[in-house]
Amino acid sequence: MRRWWAHPVASLFIVVVGMRGSLLGQEVVLGIGHYDLGVNYVPGEGWRTYIYDYASGGLLSVDTTVIRLGNSAVRRVPADPGYALLGDAGATVWVAPEIYDPEIVYLGIGAQLLGRNIFAGGLSNRGQVTMRLVSVTGSGPDAGGTLTMWQSGFPPRFHFSTADGIGPEDALNAITANFHAHYNWAFTRPGLYRVTFEYSGTLVAALGGEFTSTQVTYSFEVGENPEAGALRYAWPLTGGWAWSSWMGHVFVGHAPWVWQIGRGWRYFFPTAPDNVWVWAEDHGWCWTSQSRYPWLWRARDDRWVRD
């Protein structure tokens, strides 16, 4: 059976790996805590993008990090015409708020590593970098979901929104050295969102005075997928692949046989939306759940093992 499956899976794997920014490898899922979408520029080396973790002081890879907004992030659109970009009054949205909430990811934008006298503009030689929205793709947008980012006020100040399309106005123009600010990030449908931004600026004359830019794609997982069954929170990608925040990147085109990256074929027998019996070649029958994985209860010797 392994030989019969091997050819289509190998072909699909090559296709998926070739996609820009595919969700592959050991993903880090950020559901709570304080983080920044960070940007830096090193003269002679170029742009650096990362996600800054305030708890550890570490820099997380953008390519292997997913920002998650679960049910604790659900809000209702205010009955205020100033929030029309979020949808009809009373509609459900998932919001990462600009005010700290311990149950929701606290997401800022930061350039604390960016030095002075690198980019032109700004005050006191701090320079100026523009963050422009380029595209938003994924199962969320495919279902009609939109992304909107704003700062609270009277009226609120909107910086990005796909509700009225993407244009030159979807930009944050005042990122400078030592910059750090928080915003409200709202999504109107559950699903995966692949959000691509362009960072750009003009170098000071001493560094050549040239315009330079880079693009980076951040991954957001919003809400739950009630049809995912044993693979709760699994969101469809392309070619039969899906991404699960607790089982990683999986091929589900031949379910209930599922190909799990780094582990091979498994047979999934769901018992509830968030737990499952799994047959694995190296373990036999095991039971696990979203909260316990990667730990498996292995039936043959009645003990917990790490997958």
What integer pLDDT is reported at residue 88 of this predicted model?
92
What integer pLDDT is reported at residue 292 of this predicted model?
82
Sheet strands side by side (includes 171-175)? 28-30, 65-69, 211-222, 191-202, 129-137, 171-175
Long-range contacts of 85-90 (CB under 8 A, 24+ apart): 85/146, 85/148, 85/150, 85/158, 85/161, 85/163, 85/164, 86/148, 86/163, 86/186, 86/188, 87/146, 87/163, 87/188
What integer pLDDT is reported at residue 28 of this predicted model?
79
DSSP the chain: -HHHHHHHHHHHHHHHHHSTT---SS-EEE-SSEEEEEEEEETTTEEEEEEEETTT--EE-STTEEEEE-GGGEEE--S-GGGGGG-STT-EEEEE-SS--TTS-EEEEE-TTPPSSSBS-SSTT---EEEEEEEEESHHHHTT--EEEEE-SSS-EEEEESBTB--TTSEEEEE-TT-EEE-EEEESSSEEEEEEEEEEEEB-GGGT--EEEEEEEEEEEES--TT-TTSTT-EE-STTEEEETTTEEEEEEETTEEEETTTEEEEEEEEETTEEEEEETTTEEEEEETTTTTEEEETTTTEEEE-
What integer pLDDT is reported at residue 245 of this predicted model?
67
What integer pLDDT is reported at residue 233 of this predicted model?
55
Question: In the chain, which stretches have pLDDT less than 70?
Answer: 1-27, 225-234, 245, 271-274
Q: What is the pLDDT of residues 132-150, one digit of tens each?
A: 999 999 889 999 999 999 9
What integer pLDDT is reported at residue 230 of this predicted model?
58
Q: What pTM value is reported for the model? A: 0.77
Per-domain boundaries in the chain: 2-13+237-306, 24-222
CA atoms within 13 A on the CB side of 54: 14
What integer pLDDT is reported at residue 3 of this predicted model?
30
